[in-house]
């Protein structure tokens, strides 16, 4: 049912698209909303073509149990994370807990901020699958942390982190939690976490257009502000800039408004499809794909076969040059009209010994596309 609705909403989805975690296929209505907005900007004037995104902001925030005023739209997940962490006035010497599975750009940002502000980055304990160990987090919190940053679902590994448990522990300890939901909104339930802030992106599982990222900050405090104040999100308080209430402080007035309009449609479509039905369908596809592909041609799944996610990573056969094997498999798949991702080591340098192939089906994926990929890998 979900599969049919997903496909019906896309009159020309490319066949063999198995890269939802990289860049998904927007629906016809999403695409139309972008084009329609650009047309109105031209015909009525850019500033006159304003679009009301309140319903979309509410629906997006609801995925985290938050409200529309907690949402800020930015240009990417990376830009959203930089806006959030870059301006957060943590005391010098603050201790920030992260796992080795953290996203490459976030680690780069944290290292830069650590150098500038003398923050200490602490490695949170994980198991062999790089899954956060809640007891280890509890000990780290007891030892003193000022912030925890966690990717709910990493980009390079199809595991689902115990976010609700992490949220509970951080709240009990009074330590803010930033949850990166770039790979989980539209894919895996992110409700009940109670994080201070969520960082996400449009084009992946929510199937919005490129060029939109978002912040949801239900736990906003006075020491949280953007690194670069701007007239869109700030007012003059005498000679000093003062942030607007809520998440508005993180938004700039200029941006890809047409893409935001398209993203709004994509979010409302996700809600109409039913997030829990989408999650269930994706989990089922991920498990099915791993059971089919694990072991074929010597490729091995990089996460437990039954992990309830639709990110399926495959490690190259032993003996092969890993980078060359991944690139070769990706291009042979492309030749058969199958689009899969290749994840380079830099995506998670502390966690990824070699590049991996990434298969990420969308709810509309057909079984025959997975079988076609299996034939490619079997050679």
Ligand X SMILES: *Cc1c(COP(=O)(O)O)cnc(C)c1O
Residue found by looking up tokens 């369908």 in the block: 281
Contact with ligand X (CB under 6 A): which of 78, 94, 309, 313?
Answer: 78
Binding mask 250-279 for ligand X (x = CB under 6 A): ------------------------------
183 binds ligand X (CB under 6 A): yes
> Interacting stretch for ligand X, rule CB under 6 A, among 60-68, 177-185, 215-223, 276-284?
177-185
Site for ligand X in 33-72 (CB under 6 A): none
Alpha helices by DSSP H, listed for the chain, are 2-8, 28-44, 54-62, 77-86, 104-117, 134-143, 163-173, 257-273, 275-293, 322-335, 367-377
Residue found by looking up tokens 């995506």 in the block: 347
Q: Which of 162, 127, 210, 205 is nearest to 364 (CA)?
A: 205
- Rounded least distance, CB 325 to ligand X, Å: 23
Nearer to ligand X, 103 or 119 (CB): 103
Asked if residue 121 lies in contact with residue 114, where contact means CB atoms within 8 angstroms, the answer is: yes
- Rounded least distance, CB 162 to ligand X, Å: 16
CA–CA separation, 143 vs 127, rounded Å?
20
Q: How many CB atoms lie within 10 A of CB 272?
A: 11
180 binds ligand X (CB under 6 A): yes
CA–CA separation, 92 vs 118, rounded Å?
6
> Interacting stretch for ligand X, rule CB under 6 A, among 76-84, 268-276, 309-317, 323-331?
76-84
Residue found by looking up tokens 């893409």 in the block: 259
- Rounded least distance, CB 116 to ligand X, Å: 21
Q: How many CB atoms lie within 10 A of CB 330?
A: 19
Q: How many CB atoms lie within 10 A of CB 372?
A: 17
Q: Chain centroid to CA 60: how far?
A: 13
Contact with ligand X (CB under 6 A): which of 201, 226, 360, 365?
Answer: 201
- Rounded least distance, CB 174 to ligand X, Å: 26
151 binds ligand X (CB under 6 A): yes
341 binds ligand X (CB under 6 A): no
Nearer to ligand X, 30 or 377 (CB): 30
130 binds ligand X (CB under 6 A): no
- Rounded least distance, CB 375 to ligand X, Å: 28
- Rounded least distance, CB 204 to ligand X, Å: 6
């Amino acid at each position: 049912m979900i599969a049919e609705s997903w496909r019906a909403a896309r009159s020309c989805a490319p066949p063999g698209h198995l890269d939802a975690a990289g860049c998904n296929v927007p629906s016809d209505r999403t695409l139309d909303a972008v084009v329609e907005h650009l047309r109105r900007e031209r015909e009525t004037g850019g500033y006159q073509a304003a679009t009301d995104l309140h319903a979309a902001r509410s629906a997006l925030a609801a995925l985290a149990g938050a409200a529309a005023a907690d949402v800020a739209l930015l240009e990417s997940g990376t830009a959203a994370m930089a806006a959030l962490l870059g301006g957060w006035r943590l005391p010098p010497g603050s201790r920030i807990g992260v796992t080795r599975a953290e996203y490459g750009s976030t680690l780069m940002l944290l290292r830069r901020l650590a150098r500038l502000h003398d923050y200490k980055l602490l490695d949170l304990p994980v198991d062999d699958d790089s899954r956060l160990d809640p007891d280890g987090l509890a000990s780290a919190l007891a030892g003193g942390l000022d912030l925890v940053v966690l990717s709910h679902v990493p980009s390079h590994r199809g595991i689902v982190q115990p976010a609700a448990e992490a949220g509970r522990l951080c709240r009990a300890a009074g330590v803010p939690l930033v949850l990166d939901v770039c790979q989980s909104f539209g894919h895996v339930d992110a409700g009940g976490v109670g994080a201070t802030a969520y960082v996400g992106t449009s084009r992946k599982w929510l199937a919005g257009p490129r060029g939109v990222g978002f912040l949801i900050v239900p736990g906003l405090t006075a020491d949280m502000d953007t690194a670069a104040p701007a007239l869109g999100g700030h007012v003059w308080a005498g000679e000093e800039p003062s942030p607007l209430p809520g998440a508005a402080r993180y938004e700039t007035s200029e941006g890809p408004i047409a893409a935001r309009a398209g993203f709004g449609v994509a979010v409302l479509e996700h809600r109409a499809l039913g997030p829990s039905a989408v999650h269930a369908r994706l989990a089922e596809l991920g498990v099915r794909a791993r059971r089919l592909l694990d072991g074929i041609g010597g490729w091995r799944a990089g996460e437990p076969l039954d992990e309830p996610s639709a990110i399926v990573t495959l490690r190259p056969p032993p003996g092969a040059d890993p980078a060359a094997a991944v690139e070769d498999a990706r291009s042979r798949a492309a030749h058969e009209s199958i689009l899969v991702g290749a994840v380079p080591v830099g995506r998670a340098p502390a966690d990824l010994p070699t590049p991996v192939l990434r298969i990420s089906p969308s709810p509309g994926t057909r079984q025959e596309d997975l079988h076609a990929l299996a034939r490619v890998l079997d050679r």
